[in-house]
Amino acid sequence: MYKPSSWLKFGLFAVGLGQSFAFVLVPPLARDLGLSVIETSMIFSISAVAWAITSTSWGRASDRHGRRNIAVIGLIGYSISIIALITPLFLVEKKILDFVYLLPLLILGRLINGLIGSATRPAAFGYMADITSRSKRTKKFARLESSFLIGTIMGPMMGGFLFLYSKTLPFYIFAMCGFIAAIGIYVTFPNKISLKEKSEHIISKLSFKDKSVWPFLLIAALSSLCQASLLQSIGFFITDVFSNEKDLPLVISLTFVVLSISTVVSQYIFTDLMPIKNNKLLIYGTFLIMISYLMAALATSIALFYLAMMINGLGAGMFRPANASTLSLAQTPDNQGKAAGYLGSVMPIGHVLTPIVAMPIYQLEPGYLYLFSAALCFISLLFIIGHPLLRQNEQTCAITN
């Protein structure tokens, strides 16, 4: 792995390992120890607020100070946070730590990820935009996403196996992967690179209100709320609706695996093997995600719920790289990190709003939450079809106000 991009992909893979296993294990374990559904969601939502606040600043920093240092800082922050997140759970379980400290320490552990771990993504996508041509932007962004998603697939699988030996072992190994990736990036990465593209129009102060930015942020925010409510509710939904299933932790883990594998397969097929234009990816992806939520809400068996998650992953594999790539193509080279930071800042919005909006809906009736997500997808689909910028196949030049 002598290429900087290979270490970058490994770093995102490492992040995926820890993030997915934390989503699988932390909510049910925290609830078993006495935390409520709302309190458990708060752990992730507070971190998401920190992520949203800091992501743009990290993106701007990567534009000014180079991608390498910012990516390394982010990976170190992630590695520390995954250890800080899981340690209080097991200390309380073993009665070494009083229960009253559990929620504050869990929030603190996850907060480290929001404040510092948020640096990795804008630096990674900014670097990939720097070194790739416009025609290959979507494919390269999809491969970055795939590295993270493969990690989310392997997280529950590897974590579940390591969990048999020790409850803390998976998290320390996943954190070590993050540290190794940080070292590899620091050694191989050029901190400053020559931009391949030249722009006739230099945007000195890119704002989230610019017409080349806000449409992508809006649909990303709607997608974020749908995805975050899904990720945070899967464990509860399966436990509450399919309680007669044996080995519920395994059933929950397999749900994440199905979701992630279908996303990776979708990205490979529709952005690499048989590439589809960005505007079509946005429309088809949003439509499939909407259908998947309707199916999940009406699922009468775990098999049907798995099918809904597979369709959701297929849609996400189309939507996410297309949105990130189209936003990137609309910007000048000197604003790639900041644009990626803006996108990163809205992606956690879902985790902020989930305990406020999604979980109260879930407590009324589990299926209502997925019907609500389907309605949001329908609104997003109408916006994509109706907005002239999103209808374009590709942004052929940076857009200025």
Over residues 272-316, the pLDDT tens digits come to 778 788 889 999 999 999 999 999 999 999 999 999 999 999 999
CB 78 within 8 A of CB 113: yes
Residue 316 DSSP label: H
For the chain, the straight-line distance linking the first and the last C-alpha, in angstroms and rounded, comes to 42
CATH superfamily assigned to domain 4-191+206-391: MFS general substrate transporter like domains (1.20.1250.20)
Specify the pLDDT at position 200. Answer: 40
Residues 169 and 190: their CA atoms lie apart, in Å, by: 33
Specify the pLDDT at position 399. Answer: 41
The amino acid at 319: F
| Pick from 307, 348, 72, 312: nearest CA to 224 | 348
Angle between helices 214-241 and 366-386 (to 10 degrees): 160
Q: Which residues lie closer than 8 Å to 85 by C-beta, 6 or more apart?
A: 22, 26, 106, 109, 110, 113, 171
Specify the pLDDT at position 381. Answer: 95
For 81, the 3-state DSSP assignment is helix
CB 21 within 8 A of CB 156: yes
Specify the pLDDT at position 192. Answer: 55
382 is written with which tokens? Answer: 């109408």
In the block, residue with structure tokens 């320490």 = 105
Name the pTM for this structure.
0.74
Q: Which residues lie closer than 8 Å to 31 by C-beta, 6 or more apart?
A: 37, 40
Residues 83 and 172: their CA atoms lie apart, in Å, by: 6
Over residues 221-255, the pLDDT tens digits come to 999 899 889 987 888 899 889 888 877 877 887 88
CB 381 within 8 A of CB 222: no
The amino acid at 316: A
For residue 207, CA distances in Å to 188, 267, 338 come to: 32, 29, 9
Angle in degrees, CA 163, 260, 394, rounded to 5: 150
Rounded-to-5 percentages of helix, strand, coil across the chain: 80, 0, 20
52 is written with which tokens? Answer: 């949203």
Q: Which residues lie closer than 8 Å to 364 by C-beta, 6 or more apart?
A: none
CB 50 within 8 A of CB 111: yes
Q: Give one word for 66, left, alpha or beta, with left for phi > 0 and alpha for psi -120 to 50.
A: left
The two counts, helices (H) then strands (E), for the chain are: 16, 0
Angle in degrees, CA 24, 9, 280, rounded to 5: 80
Q: In the chain, what are the domain boundaries?
A: 4-191+206-391
Instruction: Count CB-CB contacts under 10 A for residue 239.
Output: 18
| Pick from 57, 168, 38: nearest CA to 118 | 57
Specify the pLDDT at position 394. Answer: 52
Q: Which residues lie closer than 8 Å to 226 by C-beta, 6 or more apart?
A: 289, 293, 350, 373, 376, 377
Residues of the chain short of pLDDT 70, as ranges, are 1-2, 190-205, 391-401
